[in-house]
Structure 1
């Protein structure tokens, strides 16, 4: 039986610049979305917004689902 190696897999966190480029919006739009609680989920680490790629993808998928209902 294989034993776990003890390694922890960590998903790299994206900063606002990277997320804005990924979503093809400006950093100020991303900042406004954070203030309005409209954009992708984020976390504050040391006063800096960070995003998980999986959370961004889930948020995008939820937008697709919302448009399918209308």
Structure 2
């Protein structure tokens, strides 16, 4: 009887990656919206692996912060 090969260990130091459906669910927007943002250069950066898009969670978080409205300015009267 042979011993099964050990399962591969997750790589350390790599950012978690989301696919487009996971990103859609995370942001609460349709997948088509993400494709539209990409076509117009508005969405988060992505990696392309063949026909598959993957989004680094760090890039998504930075993009989300860029979408935040500026803090309201105090009324100076």
Q: Sort the TM-score into its range (normalised by shorter chain).
A: 0.7 to 0.9
Alignment correspondent of 1:34:
38
Shift of 1:63: 1.2
Normalised by the length of structure 1, the TM-score is 0.77
CA distance in 1, matches of 2:52, 2:33: 16
When you count helix as a share of all residues, which structure comes out higher? Answer: 1
Match of 2:70 in 1: 68
* Equivalent residue pairs, number: 62
Per-residue Cα deviation, 1:23-44 (whole angstroms, up to 9, x for no partner): 0000011111111111111121
Structure 1 position 44 matched with structure 2 position 48 = yes
For the aligned residue pairs, the C-alpha RMSD in angstroms reads: 1.8
Considering only CA atoms, is the larger Rg found in Structure 1 or Structure 2? 2
- CA distance in 2 between partners of 1:8 and 1:63 (Å): 29
Please state whether the residue corresponding to 2:54 is helix, strand or coil: strand
